[in-house]
Amino acid sequence: MKLYRAWLKVDDFQCCDYFYDGVIVDLFRDGGKTYTKEEYGSMIKNYGKVEPWGEETYIDELFTLEEIKEIYKYFKRYNRTTIHHEEESLPIENNLMPLGMIPCGGGTEPIWFSEHKSYSLSFNVRGIYTLTCEDDLKKKKYPRDTRGKIGVKYRDIKRAWRIIWPKSEVKP
Q: Quote the pLDDT of residue 155.
A: 39
Domain-by-domain residue ranges, the chain?
4-146
Query: Strand locations in the chain, DSSP E?
Result: 4-10, 13-15, 18-20, 23-29, 81-87, 108-112, 125-130, 140-141
Residue 9 has pLDDT above 50, yes or no: yes
- 101-140 confidence digits (pLDDT tens): 888 887 788 999 988 888 999 999 999 988 765 555 455 5
- 31-75 confidence digits (pLDDT tens): 878 899 999 999 999 888 877 778 899 999 999 999 999 999 999
Strand partners, 4: 63, 87
Reported as a pLDDT band with limits 50, 70 and 90, residue 22 is: confident
Whole-prediction pTM value?
0.76
